[in-house]
Structure 1
Amino acid sequence: MESNNFIKQYIRNPKTVGAVAPSSEKLANRMVEDINFINASCIVEYGPGTGVFTEKILNKKKDSTIFIAIEYNAEFYKILKDKFKNETNFILINDSAENLKEYLNKYNIDKVDYIVSGLPFASLPDAMSQRILSVTKEILKGKSRFITFQYTLFKMKLFRKYFGEIKRKKVLLNLPPAYVLECKN
């Protein structure tokens, strides 16, 4: 079911849906393995798709941790809304990650510990990618981290423009294999 949704959405929206299948369990585990769930007060997810990373985060976060997921695609948003309707401190938004600051203001959140991203920066319009990364850099302070994955290292120069330190790990057990990038200012 989820794979069919991904294929349909990829065909309809190839610039904003970067894959034909959901991320693997191995990639999902790698994406969240360095999050300090004990101390995190706010986690944001960009582009949750059908919720592979979302589910991992919801299962590991404290009840008091605020978790905001921003999904641009209306079909994926509907799936997520139904799938996670009973979650505590979970805010699902149907909008672009470019507008995260508006929502942080709306919900009186002044600190984000982690931003986890499933966004396809290689296929997003360049101006949109730059706006998202600019907002991300502005929001992240101190020990906060931006964790994303990409299928190629094609956009590393773009990420380096916004983040001073980037650690990368390769995940072979994903279709296609992916790189997890942990970025900080």
Structure 2
Amino acid sequence: MKKFNFLYQFIMNPKTVGAILPSSSFLGDRMIEKIDFKDEKYIVEYGPGTGVFTEKLIKKRDPKTVILLVENNKEFYSLLKEKYKDEDYIFIEYGSAEKIERYLKKYRIPYVDYVISGLPFASLPKNVSNEILLNTTKILKENGQFITFQYTKIKKAFFNQFFTKIDVKREYRNFPPAYIFNCTILKKHTEEYYDIKNINC
């Protein structure tokens, strides 16, 4: 039923769902393998979908670590609300990752250690991708990480315009096989550092 629902959402919303099946457990393991679960306090997940990565985060986190999920698909949002209704320190927001600063203020989250993303940047509008990544650099602490996956490496140059270090790995045990991008801010920049008009996808 979960796979059927995911396929249906892909057919109805191909630009925002981005895949015909949920991510594999293998990909989930690769997405969170670099997270230091002893020291993290705040984790954000963009586009959690059915919660494949979320499940792994919850199992490994400290019980008081805050996880904020941002989902803009109504069906997935409703599924997540029901699924995690009894979990402490899990907040679920229906909306766009572009507005992440607003959501952090709402839940009194001062900064973010890790942002995990399932968003399909290859199909998102350029201005939306720019806004999401720019705002992500603002909320991440120094040396914080943005971890995402894509099905090609075509967006690596684009990610390089926001992050000072990117490690790329491949996970073949997923359909389709995926690239994992571990993006780090080694030195925080002011907003003026980024000229949005000159950022290209």
Q: Do the structures match in fold with TM over 0.5?
A: yes
The aligned residue for residue 81 of structure 1 is 81
What is the deviation of 1:128?
Answer: 0.6
1:46 Cα deviation from its structure 2 partner: 0.3
2:3, 2:178 → 1: CA distance?
18
Size of the aligned set, in residue pairs, is 185
Q: What are the residue-to-residue correspondences of 1:6-25 with 2, within 5 Å?
A: 6-25=6-25
Deviating 4+ runs (over 4 angstroms): none
Quote the residue 1:98 is aligned against: 98
Over the matched positions of the two proteins, sequence identity in percent amounts to 50
Task: Return the alpha-carbon distance in structure 2 between the equivalents of residues 80 and 105 of structure 1.
Answer: 21
User: Deviation of residue 95 (structure 1)?
Assistant: 0.5
Offset at 1:58? Answer: 0.8
User: What amino acid maps onto 2:108 in structure 1?
Assistant: N
Instruction: Report the AA paired with residue 7 of structure 1.
Output: L
SS of 1:105's equivalent in the other structure is helix
Deviation at 1:30, TM superposition (A): 0.4
The amino acid that maps onto 1:116 is I
Distance, in Å, in 2 between the alignment partners of 1:58 and 1:141 is 21
TM-score of the aligned structures, taking structure 1 as reference length: 0.98
Give 1:108 shift.
1.6
1:31-55 deviations in Å (ceiling 9; x for gaps): 0111111111000000000000010
SS in 2 for 1:144: strand
TM-score (norm 2): 0.90
2:165 corresponds to: 165
1:141 deviation in Å? 2.3
Larger radius of gyration: 2
Give 2:3's aligned residue: 3
> Residue 58 of structure 1 aligns with which residue?
58
Q: CA deviation at 1:143?
A: 2.0
